[in-house]
Every structure is written in structure tokens, then in C-alpha cells.
Amino acid sequence: MKYSAVFLVSVLSALSCIQAQHDPHFWTGHSTIVHLFEWKFSDIAQECERWLGPRGFGGIQLSPVNENVIVEPPASDSNRPWWERYQPVSYQLTTRSGTEADFLDMSRRCNAVGVRLYVDIIPNHMAAHPADGSVGYGTGGSTAVPRDRDFPAVPYTLSDFNPSCEITDWNDRVMIRNCELFGLPDLNQGLDSVRDKLVAFMDHLIDLGVAGFRVDAAKHMWPQDLEVIYGRLKNLNTDFGFPAGARAFMMQEVIDNGDHEVVRKYEYSHLGTVTEFMFSFYLGRAFRGNDDLVWLESFGEAWGLLPSRDALVFVDNHDNQRHDHGTILSYKLPKPYKMAIAFGAAYPFGQLRIMSSFAFDDFDLGPPMDGNGNIVSPSINTDNSCGNGWVCEHRWRQIANMIKFRNICWGTPVANWWSNGANKIAFSRGNRGFVAFNNQGVDMLEILQTGLAAGIYCDVISGDKVGNSCTGKSVTVLTDGRASIHIAHDAEDGVLAIHVESRL
Ligand code: LM2
Ligand code: CA
């Protein structure tokens, strides 16, 4: 009896500890993670105060914050490619985004306005040696040019790495974990010497106020090693408003395109959330018109996606927006992209992450930079959009307003689902919000049940509620909850959304 009670308590506490790594620690009324890809810390701090906090964003995924290799032309056809940051040289906080002092300033300012930080970490590998390929070392900080598999500023030496081998067979789970992704020196996370370095790095970031991590290339590491590493981390820092005992949120990157894969997303989902690439694939396919919207009524686990609480969902990420297979949507196709994001934001499934890009025409192109390779800040236009080469999807009215919709409807179920059997759909979120989509190529004009109280509402896609008027379409909800919903086939946007706070 006594034994089983002790057993139960230890199982429950182990369970709650692990479940805890699924909690992003959003402030109440906030949700959604925005990946401010390649942004500088000083710009992020300002963005938290002037946009993300007031607009209810939950947190930010940062580009890797630790010292990386510098890749100069002619190694790439564009000056200093973005991907140099996926080749770490040390765990010192020195990158083109800023220094440790800049990081701390950003962390204080973002946390103060309710915006959490998640750091992209690269525990799988270190930088390629210049002799291995097209890259060359520079000095990102204080590190001298290292020899092959010798990273003195960590320090790591040859024995910290797996023996060199190429991943030649993607059906071999041992090769996927123990050989070299892109030929990059593969750390052995089974060793205490490596675990200690990773834990020290992550604990340092926890001290500086982060709420969690995006774990790069998780698929290429053994889940049991990650479990040990995550388990050794300190609790989040209460000085930044986290409750005592809070655990770091995990977003583990596992590219799993379905049943044929030998490494599955399910192997990692007990340790935190896992990237759900099928969400990106299926919404891209549907809103590009290659699958009927009517089927989305059952979107989720029934489609083979992870359970909602384990899924980190997105329409595009920094990798697949660069690999246009004709399925993934990005800022380059604005109308269907905004529809896909509106659906992702309105539909209560997973932790949503949205991309904030810089404009690019070729795969390698790095962020907007000056002649010395320094990142150039985004400029902010009077219409809230960005300039200087930054796309700032998170500032597009339709996207930012749908994040607010998600927050206002948080915790309510999908109700009043309607479709025309093809590419016109609509649903409400309890009695808090209502959204409709027209992807049909003919106008949509329907009398639909909105679930909302009678009144005149402002459509937050075509405009904004300003004072007591609406800069876009107005929708009149009758006493029985029904309203006439109109979305022209050639309108700028194929979505209409109203909610309790857009009532005039
Ligand atoms: C990821 N997730 O698991 C990142 O999301 C992805 O952006 C990273 O690849 C990858 N894993 C490794 O962290 C990027 C980029 C690659 C680039 C690597 C390393 O997509 O193209 O590889 O970062 O910087 C580059 C060259 C490649 C070369 C490699 C090593 O493109 O041709 O391979 O460096 O020199 C010989
Ligand atoms: Ca590995």
C-alpha cells in the first residue's frame, strides 16, 4: 500500500515534469509564436514593446544565438547566407543578432510586455571544417580558428563526436542519429562531457529569461539522450515572471512526412511539442486549391497529425518556404497564404507558430545587410508594414488580427460548422467568434449561423474597428444569430472574421 502510493507519486511527478515541457508559458490573453528569422536583438526588443506585446503575441522564436561560422563569398553566391547560423563554433552569445548584453536587454523588455523568448539551439552538430567544403571560418567572437573537430571555446575535442560517417540510408535509424547531417561534425549526446556543455548552455539561457527552446535536428539525436539533457535543466527563472517549478517549453524539429519514415514524431512527443510538418503540407495543398476545404472539418489527429497538445503547427517555416514543391505556401502567394494562416489561427489545434521572413529570391540569400555584413534593421511604414527588405508577415493586418481572434476565442470549441460541400466553409468558436472562407472561384453569399449575439460587427480581415466604426466590411448579426456573409471571389482576401471585440 505504502509502496504503491510512493510509486504513484513518483510516476505522477515524472509525468507532470514531462507534460510541463509542452507549456509555452504564454501570458493570459496571448498566444502564438512568431519566428523573427534573423532579426537583431535590439530590433526585437522594440518590436515587443511597439507591436507584439500590445497585439497579444505569445512569444518569439529567435534565430540561433550562439557564435557561428562566418561564411563569406565565394562560398555562397550571396553575401553571408542565413544558414551559417546552423553551424555553431561555441556557446558564446555573439552573433549578427547581438551580444549577451543585447540579449539580456531584449529578454527583460519582451518578458515585461508579456512576450516570451524561445531560442533555436543546435545540439546535434558543430560547424563544418573549412577543408570539408565550401565554408571558411571567421571570428564570430573570441574564438580562434579551430582545427577539425576542435572547438576550444566550448571546449569540444575529437572524442566528443561520433566517428565520421555519411547518412547514406535514410531508412537506417542508427545512421540518422549517429552519422553526419550535411557532413557536419556530429556530437555524441550520449557522453556526459557533451551533455554537460549543452546543459550549461541551456541553463545560461534560462538564467537570461528564456521560456524554452526550438531543438534543431531533433530527429538526428536519440530521444533518450534528449530526455536526460532536458531533465537536467534548471527551472525557468522566476525573476522573469515564471512560476516556481516551471520547465522549459520544447519545440523539437522532427521532419516526419508519414508512415514510410523510419524515425517518427511520436518518439519525441512525450518530451515536448514536435513540429507537425503535415499541418503545413495539408493546409498548403487545400488553400492552393488542390484539396477541397470541406474536408477540413475533421482536420487534426484524424488526418494522422499528432495529438493537439503535442503539435507545433505552422503554415511555413524557414526551410520549407525555401523549397517550393508547389505545396507549401509562403508570403510569395499572399492570398492563399493569408487564408491558410487565418484557418490555422481560427482552428483550435496545436501551438501555432508563424513565420516572419525577409524577402528572398535564392535559397542562400542572407538577411538584409550592409556592405560589412551587418544586419540592417527593418523600417516601419505608416501602414504598419516593414521596409528595408523585411516582409514582417506578423504585421499584416489580416494575420495580426487573426492572432487576436485566436486569443479572444481561446478555450472555445468549433461550432456551427457549415460548408457548401466544396470550397466554401464557415464555423464559429463557441459564441466568441465566427470565420468564413471562400476558395471557390465564384462569389460566396450565404445566410449563416454565427453563434454570436445580435449586433453589427467589423470584419477584421477587410479592415479594423476604429472607435465605433469599421474600415472594412460590416456584418449584421440578427437576434437568432444568423448573418448574411459575403466574400467576392476576386476580393483581396478570401476570408471574413468577426468576434466579440469587433462589435461596433
Ligand atoms: C535544420 N533542422 O534540422 C535547420 O532547420 C536547417 O535550416 C539546417 O540546414 C539544418 N537543420 C542543419 O542545422 C541549413 C541549410 C543547409 C546548410 C546547413 C548548415 O538548409 O543548406 O548546409 O544549415 O549551415 C550548408 C550547405 C551544405 C553543406 C553544409 C556544410 O548548404 O551544402 O553541406 O553547409 O558545409 C556540405
Ligand atoms: Ca546526430
pLDDT at residue number 3: 46
427 or 128: which carries more pLDDT confidence?
427
Residues whose CB falls within 8 Å of the CB of residue 165, separated by 6 or more in sequence, listed in order: 175, 178, 179, 180
What cell does 429 get?
468558436
| Per-chain residues with Cβ under 5 A from ion ligand 2 | 124, 186, 220
* Ligand nearest to the backbone CA of 186: 2
Whether pLDDT at 13 is above 90: no
Mean pLDDT across the chain: 93
Residue nearest (by alpha carbon) to ligand 1 atom 4: 216
pLDDT at residue number 16: 52
The model's confidence at residue 301, banded by pLDDT at 50, 70 and 90, is very high
What cell does 119 get?
531560442
Contact 350, 272 (CB under 8 A): no
Annotated catalytic sites, by residue? 216, 253
d(CA 440, CA 424): 6
Residues whose CB falls within 8 Å of the CB of residue 120, separated by 6 or more in sequence, listed in order: 61, 62, 63, 64, 65, 213, 214, 216
- Provide the 8-state DSSP code for 274: E
Q: What torsion, rounded to 10 degrees, do the Cα atoms 249, 255, 260, 265 define? A: 0
Q: DSSP for 136-195?
A: ----SSSPPPPPTT-BTTTTB-GGGBPPP-B---TT-HHHHHHSBGGG--BB-TTSHHHH
Among the listed residues 459, 471, 437, 449, the one whose alpha carbon sits nearest the alpha carbon of residue 503: 459
Distance 176 CA to ligand 2 centre (A): 7
Give the C-alpha distances (Å, rounded to integers) separating 279 from 176, 283, 299, 305, 355: 23, 6, 9, 7, 14
Any residues with Cβ below 6 Å from ligand 1, and which?
Answer: 83-84, 86-87, 122, 128, 133, 135, 181-184, 216-217, 253, 319
Going across the sheet that includes 474-477, the strands are 444-449, 482-487, 474-477, 455-458
The model's confidence at residue 178, banded by pLDDT at 50, 70 and 90, is very high
Query: Side chain identity at 155, as an amino acid letter?
Result: P
Whether pLDDT at 120 is above 70: yes
pLDDT at residue number 1: 37
Most informative mutation of 37, 77, 86 for ligand 1 (most atoms within 8 A of CB): 86
For residues 277-302, average pLDDT:
98
d(CA 408, CA 452): 13
Residues whose CB falls within 8 Å of the CB of residue 11, separated by 6 or more in sequence, listed in order: none
Query: Side chain identity at 436, as an amino acid letter?
Result: A
d(CA 248, CA 165): 33
**Angle 458-461-466 (CA atoms, 0-180°, nearest 5)?**
45
Distance 230 CA to ligand 1 centre (A): 24
Domains in the chain, ordered, with CATH? 43-275 (3.20.20.80), 414-502 (2.60.40.1180)
From the DSSP assignment, how many helices (H) and strands (E) are in the chain? 9, 20
The model's confidence at residue 77, banded by pLDDT at 50, 70 and 90, is low
Among the listed residues 15, 108, 126, the one whose alpha carbon sits nearest the alpha carbon of residue 69: 126
Most informative mutation of 77, 83, 221, 320 for ligand 1 (most atoms within 8 A of CB): 83
User: Quick one: which atom of ligand 1 is closest to the CA of 181?
Assistant: 12
* Ligand nearest to the backbone CA of 218: 1
Helix H or strand E segment including 418: strand 414-419
Residue nearest (by alpha carbon) to ligand 1 atom 33: 182
Query: Considering the entire predicted model, what is its pTM?
Result: 0.95
User: Quick one: which atom of ligand 1 is closest to the CA of 84?
Assistant: 24
The model's confidence at residue 473, banded by pLDDT at 50, 70 and 90, is very high
d(CA 176, CA 16): 30
d(CA 153, CA 394): 36
